[in-house]
Amino acid sequence: MEPPAGSLLLAQVSHDTIGTVLSFSAAALLYLVTEELLMEAHEVEEKSYFTLILFGGFLTFWCIQLLGQG
């Protein structure tokens, strides 16, 4: 069995190049997932309390993180 093409292409490159390729790959996957979630989110009727719950959760976890640093 032959090794994957990506393994052959990146076998002799520097760590910086591998980091760049992995960063690009992660960004591309995040874009695809976000795009799919946004398409599904627009199928559901928006309610104003959804936004409040989102920001409330964000602020809660932010406060927990700040309390843990002290």
For 65: left if phi > 0, alpha if psi spans -120 to 50, otherwise beta; the answer is alpha
The CA–CA distances, whole Å, from 40 to 9, 35, 43, 52, 54 equal 36, 9, 5, 19, 17
Above pLDDT 70, what percent of the chain? 99
| Amino acid 4: pLDDT | 84
Residue type for position 65: Q
User: DSSP secondary structure string, 23-50?
Assistant: HHHHHHHHHHHHHHHHHHHTTSPP-HHH
pLDDT tens by residue, 20-48: 999 999 999 999 999 888 888 777 777 78
* Higher pLDDT, residue 7 or 67: 67
Q: State how far the Cα of 15 lies from the Cα of 64, in Å rounded to an integer.
A: 36
Of the pLDDT bands very low, low, confident and very high (cuts 50, 70, 90), residue 70 is: low
